[in-house]
């Protein structure tokens, strides 16, 4: 029987609830010819993935995309199952038994490593840890960052590195207007950090951050920005790149503006952009804490693929710092029983179709977002990416119907979850939690005050359920 008709609707399990997951559901529902149902499974009780836990709290306008996700969630063809870990509460086999297809949209939750001595010293953190902590991710509320030090170093030149630096220097009174986690706000109020040094291993033209984000530093009240003009001397290859690539040129112009701008006041916290330097070792004090970073100066050389890559010159210096954030990109983590490409940190796939290295394409299994293409692009990039995956899935419907001729039951998964005692969170439950957070924020003029632990989240959910169940 054909899959995707009202008599035999296509039932899809989407694993994850971030932008890639939501855009996958949207792409499915947009197909007028297709009768589809989508169930979303998310490890945390709260939906929206990096929009809630990654996007910086002072970037509320970016979070407005949750309105699109709310609209998708209100669609009668959609169900949300939060607080459900696929690989623990439900296996891949359970999902294949209950659905026609699975789309993995689990993102890239781990961080890439630098691979240098001292990386694991006290005071050396991944940027992701810090981001999750200030955003109130329930698994990171207990993290501690020694903000009593004078100087922090952020390794990397992407937008996450800028987020980390900006949060470290923004006035806590400004942050108090956002939905930053209360524990982070409290700690940042006591911060003694005066200088944040960003280390780019390549030059200003090759920086991965985007210009609107770079421009924000010039607008931060009471924050200085320092760039050494000598760091803006371009080699011939970079000069051509700056000429040809608009975004790179714009970044360069902004950095030049900072370099030629006013010298920051002595007591202003300052962000320093350094280029063509790589950390080669984190140095320890007598108690195993970071006391500095040994960095090596680089020059750029043309690689086989035509890009300009950093090469160490042997010239070194030591940068004193009590806190180091490694912000060199995210990395995917494997899901139990699902193929994984360790080298690339993604689920191997062909245009969204999961590929097992031994047996080839796995019919009925798909992938979307960062776990498909790696941790690149902005939120909107996932829309096109999800559409490609849904195109592949729809092309496969006939083959799918041969493999799963019987209609999948819409109750199967709920029965499994109830049997296994999984206290899953519905979208209605999340709405109740959302309302509580927003209501807590209102008297303080904040978009919300986040509930930051799973037990507290579940308490709110249970209270709301009890109110709903009252006759
Ligand atoms: P990213 O954009 O990939 O940047 C990673 C940075 O780390 C690059 O500058 C890279 O330099 C550097 N790096 C990698 N390995 C290194 C090493 N061993 N030593 C020194 N530096 C190293 O990653 P991200 O900042 O984590 O951001 C992830 C994605 O989210 C990006 O697409 C980003 O644009 C997006 N994002 C967007 C926003 C926003 O729009 N506001 C905010 C946050 C994140 P090379 O270029 O030399 O490799």
Q: Tens of pLDDT along the chain (471 residues)?
A: 899 999 999 999 999 999 999 999 999 999 999 999 999 999 999 999 999 999 999 999 999 999 999 999 999 999 999 999 999 999 999 999 999 999 999 999 999 999 999 999 999 999 999 999 999 999 999 999 999 999 999 999 999 999 999 999 999 999 999 999 999 999 999 999 999 999 999 999 999 999 999 999 999 999 999 999 999 999 999 999 999 999 999 999 999 999 999 887 878 899 999 999 999 999 999 999 999 999 999 999 999 999 999 999 999 999 999 999 999 999 999 999 999 999 999 999 999 999 999 999 999 999 999 999 999 999 999 999 999 999 999 999 999 999 998 888 889 999 999 999 999 999 999 999 999 999 999 999 999 999 999 999 999 999 999 999 887
Q: Which two tokens stand for residue 277?
A: 């330097």
CA-nearest residue for atom 38, ligand 1, is: 159
Whether 92 is in a domain gets the answer yes
Same domain, 197 and 229: yes
**DSSP H or E segment with residue 21:** helix 19-30
CATH of the domain at 311: 3.50.50.60
Q: What is the phi-psi region of residue 343: left when phi exceeds 0, alpha when psi lies from -120 to 50, beta otherwise?
A: alpha
Per the domain annotation, does 211 fall within a domain? yes
Q: Let me know if residue 462 belongs to a domain.
A: no
The answer to whether residue 454 sits within a structural domain is no
Angle at 162 (CA atoms; ends 121, 315), nearest 5 degrees: 60
**Predicted pLDDT of residue 149:** 97
| 161 C-alpha to ligand 1 centroid (Å) | 7
DSSP 1: -
Residues 196 and 119 placed together within one structural domain of the fold: yes
What local confidence, expressed as pLDDT, does residue 267 receive? 82
> Pseudo-torsion of CA 118, 120, 123, 129, nearest 10°?
140
Among 267, 301, 328, give the residue marking a domain's end: 328
Pick from 186, 197, 115: nearest CA to 144: 186
Do 127 and 184 have their domain in common? Answer: yes
**pLDDT score, position 264:** 78
Burial code (b: 16+ CB inside 10 Å, e: under 16) for 395-409 equals ebeeebbeebeeebe
Closest listed residue to residue 175, CA positions, set 136, 149, 145, 225: 136
CA 203 – CA 54 distance, rounded (Å):
26
First CA to last CA distance, the chain:
43
Beta strands in 143-274 (DSSP E): 151-155, 195-199, 224-227, 270-274
Is there a single domain that holds both residue 315 and residue 339? no
Pairing status of strand 151-155 against strand 323-326? parallel
| Contacts within 8 Å (CB) and 24+ apart, 416-423 | 416/90, 416/94, 416/98, 417/81, 417/84, 417/89, 417/90, 420/89, 422/83, 422/84, 422/89, 423/83, 423/458
Domain total of the chain: 2
Distance of CA 30 to the CA centre of its chain: 26
Ligand 1 atom at shortest distance from the alpha carbon of 115: 18
- Identify whether 453 is part of a domain: no
Instruction: Tell me: do 285 and 165 sit in the same domain.
Output: yes
The answer to whether residues 148 and 270 belong to one domain is yes
Please identify, by atom number, the ligand 1 atom nearest to the C-alpha of residue 157: 9
Nearest residue to 182 (alpha-carbon basis) of 134, 131, 129, 142: 134
- Given the CA of residue 127, which atom of ligand 1 is nearest to it? 26
- Of 328, 353, 384, the position where a domain reaches its end is 328
Q: Can you tell me the distance from the alpha carbon of 406 to that of 192, in angstroms, rounded to the nearest whole number?
A: 64
What residues does 82 pair with on adjacent strands?
Answer: 425
Atom 31, ligand 1: residue with shortest CA distance: 376
Residue 242 sits in the same domain as residue 383: no
Q: Which atom of ligand 1 is nearest to the CA of 206?
A: 46
Residues 341, 299 within the same domain? no
pLDDT of residue 352: 98
Of ligand 1's listed atoms, the one at least distance from the Cα of 213 is 41
Q: Give the Cβ contact number of residue 57 at 10 Å.
A: 24
Among protein residues, the one with the nearest Cα to ligand 1's atom 9 is 157
In 42-100, the DSSP E strands lie at 78-81
Which of 284, 304, 328 marks a domain boundary? Answer: 328
The answer for residues whose C-beta is within 8 angstroms of residue 144's C-beta and 6 or more apart is: none
Tokens of 246: 């608009």
pLDDT of residue 405: 80
| pLDDT of the residue at 471 | 77
Query: For the domain that residue 91 is a member of, what is the CATH number?
Result: 3.40.50.720
Looking at the fold, whether 313 and 375 belong to one and the same domain comes out as no
- Under 8 Å between Cβ of 274 and 198: yes
Residues 227, 348: one domain?
no
Q: Is residue 351 part of a domain?
A: yes
Residue nearest to atom 21 of ligand 1 (CA): 156
- CA-nearest of 440, 459, 460, 458 to 449 is 440
Boundaries of domain holding 338: 10-109+331-425
**Residue nearest to ligand 1 atom 4, measured at CA:** 158
Q: Do 324 and 130 touch, CB atoms closer than 8 A?
A: no
In a domain, 463, yes or no: no
Residues 57 and 191 in one domain: no
Please write down the long-range contacts of 214-217, taking CB distance under 8 Å and 24 or more positions apart. 214/162, 214/251, 214/254, 214/255, 215/254, 216/162, 216/166, 217/162, 217/165, 217/166, 217/258, 217/271
Ligand 1 neighbours by CB, cut-off 6 Å: 114, 155-161, 163, 201-202, 206, 208, 213, 278, 327-330, 375-378
Tell me whether residue 35 is in a domain: yes
State whether 71 and 124 are in the same domain. Answer: no
Other Cβ atoms closer than 10 A to 217 = 19
Sign of CA dihedral 198, 344, 51, 416: negative
């Amino acid at each position: 029987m054909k899959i995707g008709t009202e008599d035999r609707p296509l039932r899809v399990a989407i694993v994850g609830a971030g932008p890639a997951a939501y855009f996958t559901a949207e792409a499915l529902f947009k197909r007028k010819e297709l009768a589809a149902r989508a169930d979303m499974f998310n490890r945390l009780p709260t939906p929206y993935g990096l929009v809630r836990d990654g996007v910086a709290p002072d970037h509320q306008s970016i979070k407005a995309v949750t309105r699109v996700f709310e609209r998708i969630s209100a669609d009668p063809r959609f169900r949300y199952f939060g607080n459900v870990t696929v690989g623990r509460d439900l296996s891949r086999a359970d999902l294949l038994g209950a659905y026609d297809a699975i789309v993995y949209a689990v993102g890239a939750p781990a961080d890439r490593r630098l691979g240098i001595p001292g990386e694991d010293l006290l005071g050396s953190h991944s940027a992701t840890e810090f981001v999750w902590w200030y955003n109130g991710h329930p698994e990171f509320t207990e993290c501690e960052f020694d903000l009593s030090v004078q100087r922090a170093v952020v390794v990397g030149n992407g937008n996450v590195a800028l987020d980390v630096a900006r949060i470290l220097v923004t006035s806590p009174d400004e942050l108090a207007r956002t939905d930053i986690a209360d524990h982070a706000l409290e700690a940042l109020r006591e911060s003694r950090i005066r200088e944040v040094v960003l280390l780019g291993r390549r030059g200003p033209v090759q920086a991965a951050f985007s210009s609107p984000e770079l421009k924000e530093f010039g607008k931060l009240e009471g924050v200085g920005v320092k760039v050494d003009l000598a760091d803006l001397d371009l080699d011939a290859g970079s000069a051509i790149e700056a000429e040809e690539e608009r975004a790179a040129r714009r970044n360069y112009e902004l950095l030049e503006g900072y370099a030629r701008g006013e010298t920051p006041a002595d007591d202003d916290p300052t962000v320093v952009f350094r280029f063509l330097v790589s950390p080669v070792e984190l140095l320890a004090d007598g108690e195993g804490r970071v006391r500095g970073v040994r960095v090596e100066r680089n020059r750029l050389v043309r690689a086989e693929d035509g890009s300009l890559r950093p090469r160490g010159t042997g010239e070194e210096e030591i940068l004193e710092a009590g806190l180091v954030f490694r912000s060199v990109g995210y990395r995917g983590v494997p899901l139990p029983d699902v193929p994984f490409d360790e080298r690339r940190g993604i689920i191997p796939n062909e245009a969204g179709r999961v590929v097992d290295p031994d047996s080839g394409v796995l019919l009925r299994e798909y992938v979307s977002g960062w776990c498909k293409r790696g941790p690149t692009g902005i939120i909107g990039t996932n829309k096109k990416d999800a559409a490609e995956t849904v195109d592949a899935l729809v092309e496969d419907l006939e083959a799918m119907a041969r493999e799963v001729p019987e209609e999948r039951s819409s109750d199967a998964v709920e029965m499994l979850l109830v049997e296994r005692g999984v206290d899953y969170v519905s979208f209605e439950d999340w709405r109740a939690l959302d309302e509580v957070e927003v209501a807590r924020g209102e008297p303080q003029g904040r978009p919300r005050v986040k509930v930051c632990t799973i037990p507290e989240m579940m308490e709110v959910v249970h209270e709301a359920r009890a109110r709903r169940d009252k006759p």
